[in-house]
Amino acid sequence: MLAVVCPGQGSQTPGMLAPWLELPGVPDQIAAFSDAAGLDLAAHGTTSDADTIRDTAVAQPLIVASSLLAWRVILDGGALAGRDAAEVVDVTAGHSVGEVAAAAVAGVLDDVGAVGLVTRRAQAMAKAAAAAPSGMSAVVGGDPAEVLAAIEAAGLWPANVNGAGQTVAGGALEHLSTLALNPPARARVIPLQVAGAFHTPFMDAAREEFEQVTAQWPANDPRITFLADLDGQPHGTGAETLARLAGQVTAPVRWDLVMDGLAARGVTAVLELAPGGVLTGLAKRALKGVELLAVKSPDDVEAARDLIARHSTAVPNGVDA
């Protein structure tokens, strides 16, 4: 059984689109994505530096575009040529902004629509982050209950509960300093280079703005099982999915529950789309015995097709409730 997962913010690296743009058809795809985003994604994915692509308003559409470019290349050759995602994917999910890319994999959005929608999300979140200084820190190791208690005691929120011994705290900068000075036992606190406290109440204004966008955005019902970051359970209708994506702007990312959901369904392989690496790293520790592949460049495409061929059990419209 095959899961396709899509990475979140922080997975981007300078020049990550350069090798993809050498493939036939990809320049036209990225041009369409750039139009939808109102950004030159080709330039941001090839020549922009790390500071430029760290900007939330740039990073989010760039990451979603990268995931979907890689996915379409994988589906455009070999035995998969001409096949629909619903014929080869058993379950999908995405980490934070990666949920928008996963929504396209699941058929809720088309690719251009996904890039357009995530651009609106990114703009709202960047605006909210600029309104009040805030940030995030990873807490690695420690007893999970003690980590959550320490985060709360410092006046922070658990923005990401990633499983595999990793939790991300978000909130005011002075409270993050308090946590760093008083870390949980056997845990390290690592400041993250992000613009704000995503998935916390600091994003309330962004959630309200994005809710208005998603309420009007065209959406289809998922054609494959699409697990939600909110609780690890399958998304509902297309409209319900977009409403939950809006709510997820301030809600914690429960990637631990997503991985539990993958395990409960008997997933035997996880394919992480570009710019891959983070989610397969978490799965390596949490999903023992599951075959993992992170797509980082076109060099990984044939291996991705082989993984799909060996693990997919999908049937069209194979959505569980």
Can 95 be counted among the known catalytic residues? no
Domains of the chain (ranges plus CATH)? 2-130+201-311 (3.40.366.10), 135-191 (3.30.70.250)
* Contact in structure between 301 and 77 (CB atoms under 8 Å): yes
Tokens of 37: 């985003």
Nearest to 37 by CA among 22, 55, 15: 55
Nearest to 54 by CA among 97, 11, 19, 102: 11
pLDDT of 194 reads: 86
pLDDT of 70 reads: 97
* Contact in structure between 241 and 235 (CB atoms under 8 Å): yes
Nearest to 226 by CA among 314, 105, 312: 105
What pTM does this model have? 0.95
Catalytic residue among 96, 134, 137, 312: 96
**Cα(197)–Cα(13) distance, integer angstroms:** 21
Can 134 be counted among the known catalytic residues? no
pLDDT of 319 reads: 56
pLDDT of 98 reads: 98
Catalogue the E-assigned strands of the chain. 2-6, 91-94, 135-141, 157-163, 166-171, 187-191, 225-226, 269-272, 291-294
Catalytic residue among 44, 175, 199, 235: 199
Query: Per residue of the chain (321 residues), what is the pLDDT tens digit?
Result: 999 999 999 899 999 999 999 999 999 999 999 999 999 999 999 999 999 999 999 999 999 999 999 999 999 988 888 888 999 999 999 999 999 999 999 999 999 999 999 999 999 999 999 999 999 999 999 999 999 999 999 999 999 999 989 999 999 999 999 999 999 999 999 999 888 999 999 999 999 999 999 999 999 999 999 999 999 999 999 999 999 999 999 999 999 999 999 999 999 999 999 999 999 999 999 999 999 999 999 999 999 999 999 999 975 545 564
Question: Helices 98-105 and 111-131 sit at what angle, rounded to 10 degrees?
Answer: 160
